[in-house]
Structure 1
């Protein structure tokens, strides 16, 4: 007897062919496609009647630079998309790696699912992943003058600049981060009768 997960895997293998690596773990199916095949695979996932992934429920960027405690030796950036088929009641995760670490870029899936618009803007803002064909790729969570992409693993925890209101200039100004190092010593309170009441 085949399970629903096995039926999904067979349908994916038949629809996507040799161009996709399909795996199942912990009750979830993951499809890894090449950047060159990304749009075609996503179109197939939506339009193939045996799959019918009509809803894109999530899209996010991933930075693999320190994955596996530094033992990972592959492309640094990936885009992971979660799709849902209401007709078949199943889900799939699609992962595509950006071929160039210096200029991470993949095709935009906004022509296929309009809901990808804000998710792709978020991945651009936080990871610096570019989406070719996106109509309005601009920052969505950080300030327009923000420098860098804060979810990259090499982004400094304190950031590059800080902003504050200057009462003399009567405006918000940006300045280099100034954090004075300090030593925190925890205060320990010991009571002889603690917990005995």
Structure 2
């Protein structure tokens, strides 16, 4: 039995068929509903047969337009926004990916995992800053990468590439000011050079 099969069996022993479980690209993924998020993650950390002591990473995901023509096969998801946690068991030397979907696309909210893995505190702040996902119970949920006055969440797929405002230093007022974006939105198509022998001998 392989290492991944052992992990899969132990997860099924603990959770049965309650949660979807997949193995793809050498990685086990467990999908957990919001209502069971903290309880399940605590069990993943504490149960002797699993022992995921370390929360390595947490990332937000925006599935807007996922699976539409030109974006690959359509896969139904229960919501637009999700958080993905990568866990490590030092005791058993294995890893796990756990995903949860927010139920409200307009105001995505998930319970914080800071009490389970304190290392995820800054990652939750990043997911809040970049995707606008609120983590209920986080002790210090504020922006971490953008400016405090930043408008919007830049990793959302409907966020404009140029943003909504631009910032510059104003010589007259002797301070930094915000103003509407002056860049005109346009689509740039790369020019492909097809000349035979281009660059040869240089």
State TM-score, norm by structure 1: 0.91
In the TM superposition, 1:142-161 aligns within 5 A as 142-161=146-165
SS of equivalent to 2:68: helix
- CA–CA distance in 2 between the matches of 1:104 and 1:125? 12
List gaps (5 residues or longer) in structure 2.
none
Does structure 2 conserve the Cα–Cα contact (< 8 Å) formed by 1:160 and 1:177? Answer: yes
C-alpha deviation, 1:111, in angstroms? 0.3
Deviation digits for residues 154-191 of structure 1 (CA, Å, limit 9, x no counterpart): 000000000000101110000000114789996x8x8x
SS of equivalent to 1:20: coil
Q: CA RMSD in A?
A: 2.5
> Are residues 3 and 177 of structure 1, via their aligned partners in 2, closer, same or farther at CA, if it must alter by over 3 Å?
same
Is 1:179 aligned to 2:183, yes or no? Answer: yes
Does structure 2 conserve the Cα–Cα contact (< 8 Å) formed by 1:63 and 1:127? Answer: yes
Q: Show the counterpart of 1:37.
A: 36
C-alpha deviation, 1:65, in angstroms? 0.6
SS of equivalent to 1:45: helix
Does structure 1 conserve the Cα–Cα contact (< 8 Å) formed by 2:83 and 2:99? Answer: yes
List gaps (5 residues or longer) in structure 1.
none
Deviation digits for residues 75-126 of structure 1 (CA, Å, limit 9, x no counterpart): 1000000000011010000000001111101100000110010000000000
- CA–CA distance in 2 between the matches of 1:193 and 1:19? 59
How many residue pairs get aligned? The number is 195
In the TM superposition, 1:31-180 aligns within 5 A as 31-69=30-68, 71-74=74-77, 75-180=79-184
C-alpha deviation, 1:14, in angstroms? 1.3
SS of equivalent to 1:59: strand
State TM-score, norm by structure 2: 0.89
- CA–CA distance in 1 between the matches of 2:185 and 2:59? 34
Does structure 2 conserve the Cα–Cα contact (< 8 Å) formed by 1:16 and 1:44? Answer: no
